Amino acid sequence: MDLKKCEKMAREFLQKFDLKNWDFFFDRAKVRLGACHFAKNKISISREFVILNSEKICRDLILHEIAHALCGAKIGHGKNFKKKLREIGGENFSKKEVRMPARKFTAFCENCGENFQTQKRCKIACRKCCRKFSNGKFCEKFIFKFLEN
């Protein structure tokens, strides 16, 4: 959705739920969607996430962070959190509906094509191939290659 519209919506929600000393900003995260910064009284949403996703999903994400702000840091995602989220009109969205920002690398196995997205290079081998061709033991041959996205 549009960034300006999203910021406006977030600020309206902060007002509506009486979080008057709270602030909103866009962050540059790629591995999480939003965050509640309790020590600073701020909520943030990933800029790229907003650009990639629908208004409905952005709205639910903002309400998710607002529910954190209202519940406090110790509550986590338990029963009380879910109750609060429903109370303020938010819904849990399924991860499937969400379009995530691209990660930095695509890791892939040259042998079988198995692949995943990641932020960091690391030295791990393809589990499938190790199981199939190396009796389940780590094998240099099946180490994932990394391609910058």
**Binds Zn ion by CB under 5 A, chosen from 7, 23, 27, 114:** 114
Report in angstroms how near the CB of residue 125 gets to Zn ion at its nearest.
8
The CA distance from 66 to 144, in Å, is 39
Q: What are phi and psi of 35, to 5 degrees?
A: -150, 155
**Binds Zn ion by CB under 5 A, chosen from 3, 102, 112, 122:** 112
The CA distance from 134 to 118, in Å, is 25
Report in angstroms how near the CB of residue 145 gets to Zn ion at its nearest.
11
Does position 129 interact with Zn ion (CB under 5 A)? The reply is: yes
Per-residue binding string, Zn ion, 72-111, x by CB under 5 A, is -------------------------------------x-x
CA angle 71, 75, 79 (to 5 degrees): 95
3 state SS of 5: helix
